[in-house]
Structure 1
Amino acid sequence: MKRVVISLGGSIISMEKLNLEFMEEFSRMLGNIKGYDGFGIVVGGGKLARTYISDLRKYNVNDNILDEIGINATRINALAMTTFLDDVNSKIPTTVNDAAEMMHDYRYVVMGGTEPGHTTDTVAMLFAERINADVMINGTSVDGVYTEDPRKNRNAKKIDRMNYDDAIKLSIDSSIGAGSNVFMDITSLSIAKRSGIKIFVINGLKIDEYINILYNGTCNGTIIE
């Protein structure tokens, strides 16, 4: 069975308001894709999560509770995403195993986070591993992986291709220091390495990128394999 998991970063779904135009266009695109048996879609928390977390952190709310709040924000965004798809789950799964079971009944299974300490990228990678998907598409607010944060350093260079070990090293290096910006967390990359899941890191707002990956296995972002 040919299945793909897509991680939709919260920054492209939940901005100052819900990005409904993108959600509609993205869903229409997937509906036109042929040759695949199923799609797993994992949605991030975005602005909704950040607002709650940043406000509550001022009152010294502990990180475990903040994680739970962030997870619930991802599930709200995931439920909103389902309204644009046909043949999709109506109840948001809370575990990867539950989501994998739903793949038997629906062409699209949409979910958010699962438990404190796991990013939605890690959830997406576990989902991909569980359903034997060969590919995980990571739709982000940046058009690939860079040597440094391109929003802070104009001289940062985009990396077209990299192996898992180099990606893990860059993730570790990027996580050090205040205001760090990590393209993917170490856990998600380690899962990809152990199962040989190819990762495409792309500008998630560009619909043509998804089409090129799904039909041609190419993108203008970064391929990690």
Structure 2
Amino acid sequence: MRTKVLSVGGSIIAPNEPDTGFLLEFSQMVTEWLDANEDARLILVAGGGGPARIYQNSYKKVAEGFSSIQKKNASFADTDALNYACDWLGIMATRLNAQILKTVFGPLCPQDVVTDPTAVSDFKGRILVAAGWKPGFSTDNDAVLLAERFAADTVVNLSNIEKVYTDDPRKNPDAKPIDNISWAEFRKMVGDEWVPGKNCPFDPIASKKAQELGLTVICAGGKNIPNIKSILDGSDYIGSTIK
């Protein structure tokens, strides 16, 4: 059975609230694709999106206000403690987004949402849905670990950008889109450290693991449903390939 992994960004599932239009169109495409490819199965890993950012930003405001009043409370002032708390808030948001994905696919996804990619031992049905595991990285890393566990050679990373750029195009008008890039060059761009809420095409921790495993990662726009189908079909697609 061929296994394909899609890391579905939270900004696609729930930019502020669940995007019902996307969920309907995406679920229809996936269901039809699985019907046409009986030897294939899919792993969908959900990101946190708007709910993660809302809760993380709210906590930061509370922590900042509290620490200014209670200087003696070092836990609020400590950056590591703050990041740890924000990671867990983000993880909980991914689990809510994953649950709606699982629910949408009904009997195609009979297993509970996976919250520890190292503990799952079986794959029942045609779709397996996963969410965040623990602090220290994003769900991109969970997608990589599940690709390793179920012998997938590619992770498709779906987000609100169609391609990886040489720089942030919102800040640098000279930023250029990238069609193909090596892991060595990509990791120079994103660095090696993870910070909760970090905005980068693919998590630095996940990138390191993907390079070690020799995985290919395709970064593509999550709202372009026909393009996602082209990627699943192995046809020409719009996106950036990292390998």
**Both structures adopt the same fold (TM-score exceeding 0.5):** yes
The structure that has the greater radius of gyration is 2
Aligned to 1:27: 27
**1:64-121 Cα deviation digits (max 9, x unpaired):** 222112111100010011122132035222200344x341x12101111000112011
**1:163-218 Cα deviation digits (max 9, x unpaired):** 11111111129x89xx9742112221122212221111001110112111111253
> 1:190 corresponds to which letter in structure 2?
K
> 1:63 corresponds to which letter in structure 2?
N
How many residue pairs were aligned? 220
Distance 1:169 1:221 in 2: 19
Aligned to 2:203: 185
Aligned to 1:214: 232
Q: Is the 8 A contact 1:89 1:102 kept in 2?
A: no
Q: Is the 8 A contact 1:79 1:90 kept in 2?
A: no
Unaligned runs of 5+ in 2: 64-75, 77-81
Q: Is the 8 A contact 2:42 2:126 kept in 1?
A: yes
Q: 1:193 aligns to what SS in structure 2?
A: helix
Closer/same/farther in 2, CA of residues 154 and 180 from structure 1, 3 Å limit: farther
* Structure 1 segment 1-225 matched on structure 2, within 5 A: 1-33=1-33, 34-35=36-37, 36-60=39-63, 62-85=82-105, 86-99=107-120, 101-103=121-123, 105-172=124-191, 181-225=199-243
Unaligned runs of 5+ in 1: none
> 1:81 corresponds to which letter in structure 2?
L
Distance 2:177 2:90 in 1: 30
Distance 1:32 1:198 in 2: 25
Q: 1:137 aligns to what SS in structure 2?
A: strand
Q: 1:156 aligns to what SS in structure 2?
A: coil
TM-score, normalised relative to structure 2? 0.84
**1:7-31 Cα deviation digits (max 9, x unpaired):** 0111111122211111111111111
Shift of 1:130: 1.2
Q: Is the 8 A contact 2:166 2:178 kept in 1?
A: yes
TM-score, normalised relative to structure 1? 0.91
Distance 2:217 2:171 in 1: 24
Q: 1:97 aligns to what SS in structure 2?
A: coil
Distance 1:106 1:42 in 2: 16
Distance 1:163 1:187 in 2: 16
Distance 2:156 2:162 in 1: 12
Identity across matched positions, percent: 32
RMSD over aligned Cα atoms: 2.0
Q: Is the 8 A contact 1:164 1:189 kept in 2?
A: yes
